[in-house]
Structure 1
Amino acid sequence: MSSAQLREHGGGAAGLTALTLVRVIGRQSGWADVWRAELDALRRYDDPDTAEQALLVDPGDGW
């Protein structure tokens, strides 16, 4: 299941799982545009815990 599919599924557990995927693969990819976009989407996620945790992710320089 992709992070986008998890976001579409909805709910806190799905959102946090999607965020974990985005963190890991985002870092591995050097924060390619697709993973930056997923992180942005999770920052606007309906679950406040997921959105807050996504805001705390720092993709580093070049963001």
Structure 2
Amino acid sequence: MAKVLTWVIQRRVVSADRMEQLRKELTEREAEAARLEAAKVVCSTTARTDSAIVVTPLPVTLMPCATA
């Protein structure tokens, strides 16, 4: 009986470790999906007109050059 209980406890520990590993992998996959979705949004800012591609530029802040 003690061997069975020991085996069950060991299996639960192994299962808990595996569950933690799978949760980490899920978190990584969700982050990757979020990055891909953001890239999709950025790419969707391009619009095709006839044979030309028009890209909507992102706002850029220019800093004045220092003069010597």
Q: When you count strand as a share of all residues, which structure comes out higher?
A: 2
Which structure has the larger Rg over C-alpha atoms? 2
